[in-house]
Structure 1
């Protein structure tokens, strides 16, 4: 036990002993002497020490074996059983020391008459404080789990967004570098085409700047951009490269990762040779919910080492946005890339904060239900023993206390079934389910 915990328990014992000692000395002691006051405090401290430390170690043992969050059902059931047996045992030990050893009462009447009633009252008081003690531990663990899960969700969202931004920021210098290489070659080969290329390049770069902060763009926008880019390529390669677009109109309304077509088209040109005698044919179409880019394979030898930005960039960006995979297929004659066409523009990163807020609201509602239950249980444990005392003190021949105890007890059992899910899967009501790891 840590020093801080020990100090806290000791302070709790002192305050409890002080309060109960004053109470019993005032209302149940006829001889108001200093000696009896000290005895009253000593007896109260004995009860406080035994109950607080007994419940503390019982709680610690159960927590070490069963988690409130991962093994909630088992933890609750064992907590109720252990609380009942431990506190009844501790009550009888303390009462025996108090009533029989210290006060010299007849042991034969320990479970009968006034001593039997005293045992019953102390058992209920002990169970009340034990229930509060366990409820406090449960709420502390629940809050820790809630905060931990929310923090993890935020870290995941921030990490994904940072990674996505890093991948997008690779595109600007990458495109500019390759375009300037093409322009440099055209200036020597054909200055007039270089001017046309420069105008097209400015139009393309404007599109890149417009889409820079977007996670997804429509297929139609990407196709129009690809057509502008292929026109730029045709300026340099003329009839050495042909392009065919055959994308369904219905698919144009959906979404893909921005600049994905440009990177794949650039990849085709970079890794294949193209001549008038052996032209490179590139086809862009759609099928089965995918955007298909296919080219005949004319692998260029002695190619410079790749920068690793092209296809890997597309694959990583899709992985951050959807569970659907980018498919790459290669044979001796052709090379294919299938880009998933997404039907919803809202992505996991866009909805992370919304999902987190909704989950937090559900968790808050759950905590409120638990507070209401433990409030009802606490009231029951306080009021019912008081009613029993009043009944047996004023009219011991008629035990009317059974009616409120049974009625109220039944309502608490029904509330427990609703809150703790005894009739349904409890795991679905835990914070791990409420704050499920969508990422």
Structure 2
């Protein structure tokens, strides 16, 4: 979301949240401090509003501004450092402004009171607590952007899965033993009766299988190629069924750049033959034509008697799913009990959504997911550190101020957080950034592994 859109849409929601925080903490600290007078409660609510709006809303606006400047996923390092620097500076200045209003202007203390030892701890406590809240919202923003990216990658995985499933169904139906058995029976008969026709049949059968093998790794193909294949496939079927099968194909296409999902026509033509009676007395008529941006495949309906298993329509569903994943256009199916029509959207040039990444599991996606998981764990560790350290400081100064033991968890836990962050960002304190990956690449290049 851009900062301009934030002002239009999200600012109102953030203001409402700040008002709720003001009321909640105002009531809480009014009860804790027993400020039951109108003046006392008003002061508590005013301080609560200062913290909520100056620190809460201010950091929210900074967060949106930085999101507009640097992308969380593509520019993670720049976004993290910009967030750290901007948040620390703004929160530190904001806390001093609030404390100046609170202790000097409202409570009428000298300006020097802000720099006495006790107040320095108050400043530190407020700054660290505010940074913890700000870090939470920065981490939340990162997770939202990461999920958006992961959803896009998931969609791409779905395209791969649907494509491979459709390819499998196509190959399965094309190499179906029943189909192959019938084709070989026809070929056997033709060899004895009409050797010339048998030769033509063999040629067309080989073209069908060769086309299947050639197109199985493509996502979209020109409509002209698919129509040429459909013609060959229908001629093959017509040699098998003779006058029991009639078909009509367009002689030309309106635009040579139009594309469709490969082998979709084969599935639809095979389904037409599979689910209808094909006989000389009741010939099956199949028409393929272009209309209103769709390629329509229409066949007459003369259903076979329900014998054996009912059709699962897996092939047809996979065609519809593949179109649904790569285009806003939908596959339309119409059955008026006389004709069965499937309308396939005709697509123009492919876009990024349609592009399928070869060897998806071997791409940078897996590495990115692993890195994001490490970063997420680091942010959780950092947020926990930032939230609990102020609590330790408060407990220490409240119950045992003579011994400042809170330095031990600050330093010890802080070192752990530091090394966790270095690991998350693949940075070695002594060997530099991406040392491990560079060393692996070096060994692989030199064949020393």
CA distance, structure 2, for counterparts of residue 8 and residue 366 of structure 1: 32
CA distance, structure 2, for counterparts of residue 357 and residue 46 of structure 1: 51
Deviation at 1:210, TM superposition (A): 4.5
1:66-81 alignment runs, 5 A limit: 66-81=70-85
Match of 2:67 in 1: 63
Structure 1 153/31 Cα, relative in aligned 2: closer, same or farther at 3 Å? Answer: closer
SS of the equivalent of 2:213 reads: coil
| Contact residue 15 and residue 57 of structure 2 kept, 8 A | no
1:197-236 alignment runs, 5 A limit: 197-211=196-210, 213-215=212-214
Match of 1:85 in 2: 89
| Contact residue 135 and residue 383 of structure 2 kept, 8 A | yes
Match of 2:403 in 1: 398
How many pairs align?
A: 278
Deviations 1:186-220 (A, max 9, x none): xxxxxx99932211122333334445543489xxx
Deviation at 1:23, TM superposition (A): 3.1
1:251-270 alignment runs, 5 A limit: none
Match of 2:420 in 1: 415
CA distance, structure 1, for counterparts of residue 104 and residue 377 of structure 2: 40
| Contact residue 92 and residue 127 of structure 2 kept, 8 A | yes
CA distance, structure 1, for counterparts of residue 15 and residue 215 of structure 2: 61
SS of the equivalent of 1:399 reads: coil
CA distance, structure 2, for counterparts of residue 65 and residue 72 of structure 1: 12
Deviations 1:82-109 (A, max 9, x none): 1111110011001111111111122212
Deviation at 1:387, TM superposition (A): 1.0
TM-score (norm. length: structure 2): 0.53
Match of 1:313 in 2: none
Q: Mind listing any 5+ residue stretches in structure 1 that lack a counterpart?
A: 166-191, 218-262, 264-306, 309-316, 318-348, 429-439
| Contact residue 95 and residue 123 of structure 2 kept, 8 A | yes
| Contact residue 146 and residue 363 of structure 1 kept, 8 A | no
Match of 1:98 in 2: 102
Match of 2:377 in 1: 372
Which one has more relative contact order, counting CA pairs under 8 Å at least 6 apart? Answer: 1
| Contact residue 66 and residue 79 of structure 2 kept, 8 A | yes
Deviation at 1:368, TM superposition (A): 3.5
2:149 to 145, 148, 167: 145
Match of 2:121 in 1: 117
In our comparison, the structure showing a higher alpha carbon Rg is 1
Match of 1:42 in 2: 46
Structure 1 3/63 Cα, relative in aligned 2: closer, same or farther at 3 Å? Answer: closer
Structure 1 160/364 Cα, relative in aligned 2: closer, same or farther at 3 Å? Answer: closer
SS of the equivalent of 2:415 reads: helix
Deviation at 1:403, TM superposition (A): 0.9
Moved more, 355-364 or 8-17: 355-364
Structure 1 31/48 Cα, relative in aligned 2: closer, same or farther at 3 Å? Answer: closer
TM-score (norm. length: structure 1): 0.54
1:16 correspondence with 2:15: no
Q: Mind listing any 5+ residue stretches in structure 2 that lack a counterpart?
A: 1-5, 170-190, 217-228, 230-251, 254-261, 263-353, 438-449
Structure 1 45/155 Cα, relative in aligned 2: closer, same or farther at 3 Å? Answer: same
Deviation at 1:354, TM superposition (A): 7.2
Structure 1 361/95 Cα, relative in aligned 2: closer, same or farther at 3 Å? Answer: same
CA distance, structure 2, for counterparts of residue 425 and residue 61 of structure 1: 29
CA distance, structure 2, for counterparts of residue 32 and residue 402 of structure 1: 37
